[in-house]
Amino acid sequence: MNLEPLGTPEAPTFGLDTFGDVALHPDGTAVSHPEAIGQVVAEAVVAEQVGLDFFGIGEHHRPDFSVSSPDVVLAAIAGQTSRLRLGTSVTVLSSDDPIRVFQRFSTLDAVSGGRAEVTLGRGSFTESFPLFGLSLDDYETLFSEKLDLFTQLLQERPVTWEGTFRPPLVAGQAFPRTAHGLTAWIGVGGTPESVVRAASYGLPLVVAVIGGSPARFEPLVDLYHRALEHYGHGTRPISMHSPGHVAVTDEQAREEMYPHQAAAFTKIGAERGWPPYTPEQFDDGAGPTGSLFVGSPETVATKIAWAIRTLGLSRFQLKYAVGTLPHEQRLSSIRLYGEEVVPRVRELLARRAD
């Protein structure tokens, strides 16, 4: 498994995440799924143009997100880029087959010239379980077993393995092989068990901070480091995924982001029995230590630098596609992030190091 291009707390890398959120046209109508996927490809191309390091696409199976097969979209992006690392945020391993996941991403690694990554997780949505004939009663066991198999496949040697949900493997092999190993991360939402499990396999960690403060993850990051030591692994990269939006001023960024953030979280909340999203929740998240990285380049850069120092991050991933936020506003946010935010973060980190 190749960890070299993933950054360090001293020299972090910077990426973007999207779920292929279905945006709005200027007239307020929703774009189609084919249009939304085309927009994702165009946004990734701009991400490379402005010097970003990573582009991640999440897997979902619901109408407000257009991407159910991230590896296919990432392959399209690979054909239009040359440097950008390409991965997921996340791949729902619980409802997929580990061998097929490895094969798809080792293929992506080949067509992208070694730029593929995969972030494995259980996902925050559960639509894939009934869609693929799986029971939510098996939610935890499915992920545990499939992750165990997948980590063995990463060794790219014959695998003999037995579990509950599939026939045993006897010297099974997954092809194609990669040139330098496939980079795999574990995405976690904040449970100690998930953090320890990632450490037990020696896999790098992505923490999804979509509520509260990044600082509340400090004990989990400490636990991860202690668990890595316990299991005999060296240091591994840690990344953070959080939503945000960059505009010329704080006021513009908040005005552009809020209605789309509120609509998305109110819709999801109605499905899960939560109350409607409020301006107060948005203001809390947009504060100096909240989970929303929204504002002017200086505001967002200051907050990212703080998060990197607080958690010792090797990478920061901005979830820039906020619900129905229009494509042109997303493109503007990407440009400001790459051209102004990231250089300023590096400057702030270097100043602190001196």
HEC assignment per residue over 124-191:
CCCCHHHHCCCCHHHHHHHHHHHHHHHHHHCCCCCEEECCCCCCCEEEECCCCCCCCCCEEEEEECCC
Q: How many angstroms separate the first and last alpha carbons of the chain?
A: 33
Instruction: Say yes or no to pLDDT of 3 above 90.
Output: no
Instruction: Give the lowest-confidence range in 3-17, 201-215, 301-315.
Output: 3-17
Domain boundaries along the sequence of the chain = 4-353
Instruction: Say yes or no to pLDDT of 160 above 90.
Output: yes
Are the CB atoms for 327 and 39 separated by under 8 Å?
yes
DSSP code, position 339: I
For the record, the structure tokens of 48 come out as 């490379």
At 354 the pLDDT is 58
For 100-115, the pLDDT digits (tens) are 999 999 999 999 999 9
Instruction: Say yes or no to pLDDT of 1 above 70.
Output: no
Cα torsion for 292, 328, 348, 56, to the nearest 10°?
Answer: 70
For 62-118, the pLDDT digits (tens) are 999 999 999 999 999 999 999 999 999 999 999 999 999 999 999 999 999 999 999
For 169-199, the pLDDT digits (tens) are 999 999 999 999 999 999 999 899 999 999 9
At 5 the pLDDT is 63
Are the CB atoms for 119 and 206 separated by under 8 Å?
yes
Question: 320: burial class by Cβ within 10 Å (0-12, 13-18, 19+)?
Answer: buried
Give dist(CA 207, CA 189) in Å, integer: 6
For 276-329, the pLDDT digits (tens) are 999 999 999 999 999 999 999 999 999 999 999 999 999 999 999 999 999 999
CATH superfamily of 4-353: Luciferase-like domain (3.20.20.30)
Would you place residue 7 in the very low, low, confident or very high pLDDT band (cuts 50, 70, 90)? confident
Count of residues for the chain? 354
At 9 the pLDDT is 87
Instruction: Say yes or no to pLDDT of 144 above 70.
Output: yes
Nearest 5°: the CA angle 17, 18, 19 is 135
- In which region does residue 338 sit, left (phi positive, over 0), alpha (psi from -120 to 50) or beta (all else)? alpha
* Mean pLDDT, residues 245-268 taken together: 97
DSSP code, position 123: -
Instruction: Say yes or no to pLDDT of 4 above 60.
Output: no
The percentage of the chain sitting over the pLDDT mark of 90, rounded to a whole number, equals 95
Strand partners, 239: 206, 315
User: Cα dihedral sign for 278, 342, 60, 172?
Assistant: negative
The percentage of the chain sitting over the pLDDT mark of 70, rounded to a whole number, equals 98
Instruction: Say yes or no to pLDDT of 18 above 60.
Output: yes
